[in-house]
């Protein structure tokens, strides 16, 4: 089996690294961050594929690493229920899933402070050069370096991220800090409110210590609000004056923006949702982009997760797609008995089809909410899923 270098040690990189190691490859993960990745507080809705490694290979029960809710509810501005349906959804936190995958992979071959600066992959081997000056080789370089993927920019310089016209305000608040009435109202549901050219979702996720017990969890918000392309640079400039490309981390969003967001929430959101939003101590902002790639493999280099397609979050499938890229890569490699010339094209064909269809679906949902303004409660297209709504 080939030796593999995985660049990027987040959920996509770790899942792929674990699966390729299980398949018999000699795998090393290179992560740019110098410190352990632990502070990414965002909640995520999780699909079967995101939890598949922890459940199938580590024997964990989904209930131990994710919260679950049994209802989907849409609220009117006065807080009454406009629409409700029964559906099981699972939610987790980046931290929770990362901890499980990282513990499974171990620290020995998970190297921090290793920023890939350049690579070559045209021959039979890939050559990686890090910003430290170190050079390493592998039979296959898997780039799981996220939405800003420097590797994608090098392989496909013509691919430009396309701004979707809106940002997501995100953040969490301890369930225990909320009033009893709000906590009760939100406890067993993913709760939506649709506003003109906007919508917000609220759901419970595990606490920072991983607890999934009601009362010890966090409540997570994702609020999509339109920002013109001209205003985007101001929205992505933090308190420190630094202009970011994609997101401003917690604690860095300028206070006038936070005040405007909280004021709008108090005036326009259902009381339960407004209470959550205005209680989030450190909300943060992520701009939403579409990234569409023509290829996912070239020579001995391939792209997985957001490094290939970055899709809008409306199918809750970003981490599932990243994981699925890893599962299918391992499957094709095993099928071809480790032959990269045979397996990479088959993998690429399958994952290009998945990425393109997911991108089209999430674009349609996002445009319906933010631009066409015909986003409606109970629309079957809103059901989360990787291969299609509910799939």
Helix or strand or coil: residue 76?
Answer: coil
What residues contact 268, with CB distance under 8 A and at least 6 apart?
77, 195, 274
Among candidates 318, 330, 302, 357, which has minimal Cα distance to 152?
Answer: 302
Q: How far is the CB of 168 from ligand FAD (least distance, A)?
A: 3
Helix or strand or coil: residue 240?
Answer: coil
Instruction: Closer to ligand FAD by CB, 77 or 357: give it.
Output: 357
Cα R_g (the chain), whole angstroms: 21
Residue 242 per-residue DSSP state: P
Residue 13 binding ligand FAD, by CB under 6 A: yes
CB 273 within 8 A of CB 75: yes
Give residues 139-158 in contact with ligand FAD (rule: CB under 6 A): 144-147, 150
Residue 359 binding ligand FAD, by CB under 6 A: no
Instruction: Closer to ligand FAD by CB, 243 or 335: give it.
Output: 243
The residue from 2, 5, 6, 10 that contacts ligand FAD (CB under 6 A) is 10
In the chain, the N- to C-terminal Cα span, in Å, equals 32
What residues contact 314, with CB distance under 8 A and at least 6 apart?
361, 362, 365, 366, 369, 382
Residue 351 binding ligand FAD, by CB under 6 A: no
From the list 67-75, 132-140, 271-279, 309-317, the region that binds ligand FAD by CB under 6 A is 309-317
Number of residues that bind ligand FAD (CB under 6 A): 36
Residue 385 binding ligand FAD, by CB under 6 A: no
Instruction: Closer to ligand FAD by CB, 152 or 300: give it.
Output: 152
Q: How far is the CB of 341 from ligand FAD (least distance, A)?
A: 25
d(CA 248, CA 241): 11
User: What is the CB-side half-sphere exposure of residue 335 using CA atoms within 13 A?
Assistant: 13
Q: Return the exposure string of 216-241: e unless at least 16 CB atoms fall within 10 Å of the residue's CB, then b.
A: ebbbbbbbbbebeeeebeebbbbeee
d(CA 376, CA 194): 8
d(CA 235, CA 75): 28
The residue from 75, 236, 320, 365 that contacts ligand FAD (CB under 6 A) is 320
CB 178 within 8 A of CB 276: yes
Tell me, residue by residue from 220 to 259, as one string, x for binding to ligand FAD by CB under 6 A and - for no binding: --x-------------------------------------
Tell me, residue by residue from 279 to 308, as one string, x for binding to ligand FAD by CB under 6 A and - for no binding: -------x------------------xxx-
CB 182 within 8 A of CB 176: no
d(CA 41, CA 249): 10
Instruction: Closer to ligand FAD by CB, 116 or 178: give it.
Output: 116
From the list 11-19, 72-80, 333-341, 346-354, the region that binds ligand FAD by CB under 6 A is 11-19
Give residues 193-222 in contact with ligand FAD (rule: CB under 6 A): 222
Q: How far is the CB of 22 from ligand FAD (least distance, A)?
A: 18
Residue 44 binding ligand FAD, by CB under 6 A: yes
From the list 158-166, 227-235, 311-319, 358-366, the region that binds ligand FAD by CB under 6 A is 311-319
Instruction: Closer to ligand FAD by CB, 35 or 230: give it.
Output: 35
From the list 6-14, 185-193, 344-352, 371-379, the region that binds ligand FAD by CB under 6 A is 6-14
Helix or strand or coil: residue 334?
Answer: helix
- Interface with ligand FAD (CB under 6 A): 7-13, 30-33, 37, 44-45, 50, 115-116, 144-147, 150, 168, 170, 222, 286, 305-307, 313, 316-320, 322
């Amino acid at each position: 089996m080939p030796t593999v270098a995985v660049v990027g040690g987040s959920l996509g990189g770790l899942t792929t690294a674990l699966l390729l190691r299980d398949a018999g490859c000699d795998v090393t993960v290179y992560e740019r961050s110098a410190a352990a990745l632990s502070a990414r507080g965002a909640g995520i809705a999780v699909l079967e594929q995101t939890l598949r490694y922890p459940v199938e290979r580590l024997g964990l029960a989904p209930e131990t690493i994710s919260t679950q809710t049994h209802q989907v509810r849409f609220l009117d501005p006065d807080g009454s229920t406009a629409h409700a349906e029964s559906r099981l959804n699972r939610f987790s936190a980046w931290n929770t899933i990362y901890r499980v995958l990282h513990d499974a992979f171990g620290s020995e071959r998970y190297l921090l402070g290793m920023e890939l600066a350049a690579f070559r992959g045209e021959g039979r081997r890939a050559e990686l050069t890090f910003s430290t000056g170190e050079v390493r080789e592998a039979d296959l370089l898997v780039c799981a370096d996220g939405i800003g993927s420097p590797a994608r920019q090098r392989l496909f310089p013509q691919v430009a991220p396309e701004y979707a016209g809106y940002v997501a305000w995100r953040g969490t608040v301890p369930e225990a800090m909320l009033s009893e009435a709000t906590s009760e109202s939100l406890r067993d549901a993913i709760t939506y409110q649709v506003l003109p050219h906007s919508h917000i979702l609220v759901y419970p996720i595990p606490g920072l210590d991983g607890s999934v017990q009601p009362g010890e969890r966090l409540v997570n918000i994702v609020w999509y609000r339109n920002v013109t392309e001209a205003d985007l640079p101001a929205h992505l400039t933090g308190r420190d004056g630094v202009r970011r490309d994609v997101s401003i981390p917690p604690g860095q969003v300028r206070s006038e923006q936070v005040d405007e967001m909280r004021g709008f929430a108090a005036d326009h959101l259902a009381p339960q949702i407004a209470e959550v939003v205005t209680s989030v101590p450190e909300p943060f902002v992520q701009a939403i982009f579409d990234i569409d790639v023509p290829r996912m493999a070239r020579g001995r280099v391939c792209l997985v997760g957001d490094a290939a397609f970055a899709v809008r979050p409306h199918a809750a499938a970003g981490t599932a797609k990243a994981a699925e890229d890893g599962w299918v890569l391992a499957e094709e490699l095993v099928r071809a008995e480790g032959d990269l010339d045979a397996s990479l094209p088959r993998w690429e064909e399958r994952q290009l089809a998945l990425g393109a269809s997911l991108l089209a679906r999430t674009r349609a949902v996002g445009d319906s909410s933010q631009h066409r303004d015909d986003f409606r409660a109970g629309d079957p297209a809103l059901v989360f899923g990787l291969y299609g709504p509910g799939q």
